Amino acid sequence: MTGENQTKLDHKVGSATEAAALADSLSASVSRARRDDSITQIASNSHDHTVSEKSPPAQNFNADSNNLSENGNNNNSNDDDADSTDPKDELRLSKVRCIALVATVTGASFLNLMDTTSFKHYFSQTLSGQSVVIILPSIGKALDIPNSRQQWIVSSYLLTFGCFLLLWGRIADIYGKRLIFIFGSTWVTICCAANAFIPTEIAFDLFRGLHGLGAAANVPTALGILGTTFPSGKAKNYAFSAYAAGAPLGSVFGTLLSGLIAQWASWKWVFGTLAIIAGMISVAGIFCIPPSPPPLRPAHESHRAKTAAIDWIGATLITCGLLALMFALIEGNVVGWGTLWIPVLIVVSLLTIIAFFFWQRYLEKRMTRSPLVKVSIFNLHFTSVMIIMGLFSGAFNNYMIYATYYFQDYQGLSPFQTMLRFIPTGVGGIIIAFIVARLLDRVPTFFILVIGHLCVSIAALLYAVPIPPTTSYFAWGLPAMVLSVIGADTAWPCFTLFTSHSLSAEDQAVGGALINASGMFGRAIALAIATAVQTSVMAKDRGVDVIDAGPVEEWDAPSLKGLRTAGWVSFVIACMALALVVIVFRGMEIIGKAPARPETAEGVINDGDTETGDRRD
């Protein structure tokens, strides 16, 4: 009897085990079915949106950004759904490597945008440019370059940097962002090293132009790498905030570097130091930047197919148009805006850019080949962000330039003493960047943008109002510096995050090129306007023609009046950007908030990256 009971008991246990296994199997099947249904629903929603993409743009900021992303993803059906990717193909990075990756690509902002803040008749914003501008007299003396041609030491860099951003952005999206970033950094290394040993003016300017070509390759790809590597959420917020902090840091370090070298060593060490930093970024890029996961690798396999995929006609149109516009803006304040060929060149450049726009529209609507830039992305919000970026960058850059004018040319301070007054922008930039990174997923972006624009407006206003020049720096100069960097490091991460969210993975480098180009030409146009107004005021007070107005002089009343007038111009430009933010983005929500479903197909999966939604193992 005991044996029979034991047999029955064993049978019941076996049946229970089989039932449990069957239940687990059914549960797994249901989970798979639900996941498949979810994927189907997402694809269906994406398809439905594509059908209605010609409808008027939504007025909600986040919805508009998401719709743009869906439009971009629909162009590549293989990359539509994150969940369609095998988990083993996902790119998983440790937090240490994420930090190393962000530091590496931020180095591009630190190094190259430094070739784009400066002062006098130039506009550069980080290490390469800020450091080179300060040693212009030393370079001119060593290479026997007259003052009238020394501007080309900086201008040759700016021309190639600003005009080749879009082309390099598209090349990076086709050939691979990691490859182009490393290539650009290596190219910058070679050009900087060569500039330290070149003995002639023409060759020196040529290699400065080639330097800008390399910078145009790795600056947009840096943003593209961040955009495709990090999913929306905390990690991406920190990455983009750190990148935004690279510019003020580069500006301060560039001023310090060139000031110290100009006082105690040869100017050649500036280029040697730049070459060393660029070389370190190149090596770090090899080890820290991961290859794109399979879904994000360019679809074109052969070299011939990749080359054919580039819109060379569009590239020629936009490069020539931007080149002509930049050249006219740079030379306008040198030869005078009344010189006949300046307005003619501006008109020709604008017509060329308009022709580029219509060519891109034709390719996108009637051809199978992808355009250099998809015209369909320029809806109300995206276009507004590009315009606001240009206005904001112009106001901030003008503030930095005319503050340098004020301290170095009007008050007669040395480059090193001037640098000390800009230290708050570098130190504050680091602190503000990390504070903003924590706010991006908590505070509505509208309020962050308004605060940033208000800060830059007030900073410009402090240099416009008639504060006595003998007033202590700590009473108004220091607050202005702190306000300016608060504005820059709050607004720029919002602009870059919006651009990244608005574009598909295949267009991230082009997005980086667009946002950088907007800032570049905003700085150029704003500086041209402010310089023209400043020169006109100085000429009127001195009783001479505009062409004979002369430079800013120490403790000179007309010089001070001209600087203050330029401050009013910067204030007005900043207020225009603020007004656009209030009008267009009043309903802007939290752009840095992580989505409900983790974006596993586009890059990093870390413990801190997926705070919402289910995590796949």
Q: Give the tens place of pLDDT for each residue, 428-462.
A: 888 898 899 999 989 999 999 999 999 999 999 99
Residue 400 pLDDT: 85
Highest mean pLDDT among 230-239, 369-378, 444-453 belongs to 444-453
Q: Which residue has the tokens 């398809």?
A: 47
If DSSP codes are grouped into helix, strand and coil, which group holds residue 470?
A: coil
Residue 251 pLDDT: 66
Q: Which domain holds residue 214?
A: 91-293+306-310+372-589
Task: State yes or no: pLDDT of 70 exceeds 80.
Answer: no
Highest mean pLDDT among 236-250, 446-460, 582-596 belongs to 446-460
Which residue from 176, 195, 188, 245 is spatially nearest to 214, judged by alpha carbons?
188
Tokens found for residue 393: 């960058």
CB atoms within 10 A of CB 311: 22
CB atoms within 10 A of CB 205: 21
Mean pLDDT for 586-602 is 64
Give 537: exposed, middle or buried? Use CB within 10 Å, 0-12, 13-18, 19+: buried
Greater pLDDT, 379 or 367: 379
Cα distance between the two ends of the chain: 50
**What type of residue is 103?**
A
Euclidean distance between CA atoms 503 and 220, whole angstroms: 14
Using alpha carbons only, give the angle 47, 50, 56 rounded to the nearest 5 degrees: 140
Task: State yes or no: pLDDT of 426 exceeds 90.
Answer: no
Q: Specify whether the CB–CB gap between 477 and 421 falls below 8 A.
A: yes
Residue 132 pLDDT: 66
**What type of residue is 51?**
V
Mean of the per-residue pLDDT values for the chain?
Answer: 78
CA 364 to chain centre: 25
> Percent of the chain beyond pLDDT 70?
74
Mean pLDDT for 413-429 is 82
Residue 50 pLDDT: 36
* CA 255 vs CA 9, 174, 556: distances in Å: 85, 37, 25
Residue 167 pLDDT: 93
pTM score above 0.75: yes
Q: Specify whether the CB–CB gap between 554 and 526 falls below 8 A.
A: no
Whether 212 is in a domain gets the answer yes
Least confident window among 409-413, 594-598, 599-603: 599-603
Which pLDDT band holds residue 301 (cuts at 50, 70, 90)? low
Task: State yes or no: pLDDT of 252 exceeds 70.
Answer: no
Tokens found for residue 411: 């008050």
Cβ neighbours for 299, distance < 8 A, ≥ 6 positions apart: 76, 78
Residue 120 pLDDT: 40
Residue 92 pLDDT: 64
DSSP 211-222: HHHHHHHHHHHH
Residue 138 pLDDT: 78
Cβ neighbours for 219, distance < 8 A, ≥ 6 positions apart: 108, 109, 112, 113, 161, 165, 184, 512, 516
Residue 128 pLDDT: 56
If DSSP codes are grouped into helix, strand and coil, which group holds residue 151?
A: coil
Query: In this structure, is the dihedral angle defined by the CA atoms of residues 383, 386, 392 and 397, taken in order, positive or negative?
Result: negative
Whether 205 is in a domain gets the answer yes
HEC string of 100-129 equals HHHHHHHHHHHHHHHHCCCCCCCCCCCHHH
Euclidean distance between CA atoms 392 and 554, whole angstroms: 29
HEC string of 502-570 equals HCCHHHHHHHHHHHHHHHHHHHHHHHHHHHHHHHHHHHHHHCCCHHHCCCCCCCCHHHHHHHHHHHHHH
Which residue from 79, 27, 77, 75 is spatially nearest to 53, judged by alpha carbons?
75
The predicted-structure confidence for 122-171, as pLDDT tens digits, reads as follows 344 445 555 566 677 778 888 988 876 777 887 888 889 889 999 999 99
Residue 566 pLDDT: 94
Least confident window among 21-25, 99-103, 249-253, 554-558: 21-25
Least confident window among 88-92, 111-115, 211-215, 415-419: 88-92
Task: State yes or no: pLDDT of 4 exceeds 50.
Answer: no
Whether 516 is in a domain gets the answer yes
Mean pLDDT for 179-206 is 93
Whether 30 is in a domain gets the answer no
Tokens found for residue 253: 């370090």
Mean pLDDT for 37-49 is 39
Task: State yes or no: pLDDT of 74 exceeds 50.
Answer: no
Task: State yes or no: pLDDT of 412 exceeds 70.
Answer: yes
Tokens found for residue 596: 């409900």
Residue 293 pLDDT: 55
Euclidean distance between CA atoms 254 and 400, whole angstroms: 14
The predicted-structure confidence for 455-506, as pLDDT tens digits, reads as follows 999 999 999 999 999 999 999 999 999 999 999 889 989 999 999 888 888 8
Whether 487 is in a domain gets the answer yes
Whether 153 is in a domain gets the answer yes
The predicted-structure confidence for 321-355, as pLDDT tens digits, reads as follows 999 998 998 888 778 788 899 999 999 999 999 99
Task: State yes or no: pLDDT of 39 exceeds 50.
Answer: no
Greater pLDDT, 83 or 341: 341
Greater pLDDT, 36 or 605: 36
Mean pLDDT for 166-193 is 92
User: Residue 430: which CATH number?
Assistant: 1.20.1250.20
Residue 265 pLDDT: 77
Euclidean distance between CA atoms 300 and 307, whole angstroms: 9
Whether 351 is in a domain gets the answer no
Task: State yes or no: pLDDT of 595 exceeds 90.
Answer: no
**What value does the CA radius of gyration of the chain take, rounded to a whole number of Å?**
27
Whether 141 is in a domain gets the answer yes
* CA 360 vs CA 63, 139, 416, 542: distances in Å: 25, 42, 48, 49
CB atoms within 10 A of CB 569: 23
User: Total domain count for the chain?
Assistant: 1
Mean pLDDT for 362-371 is 83
CB atoms within 10 A of CB 461: 18
Task: State yes or no: pLDDT of 392 exceeds 90.
Answer: yes
Cβ neighbours for 118, distance < 8 A, ≥ 6 positions apart: 124, 125, 129, 130, 133, 154, 401, 404
Query: For 59, left (φ over 0), alpha (ψ -120 to 50), or beta?
Result: alpha
Which residue from 171, 243, 188, 191 is spatially nearest to 513, judged by alpha carbons?
171
Residue 140 pLDDT: 84
Query: For 311, left (φ over 0), alpha (ψ -120 to 50), or beta?
Result: beta
Our CA dihedral for 320, 326, 327, 329, rounded to 10 degrees, sits at: 140
Which residue from 493, 494, 491 is spatially nearest to 483, judged by alpha carbons?
491
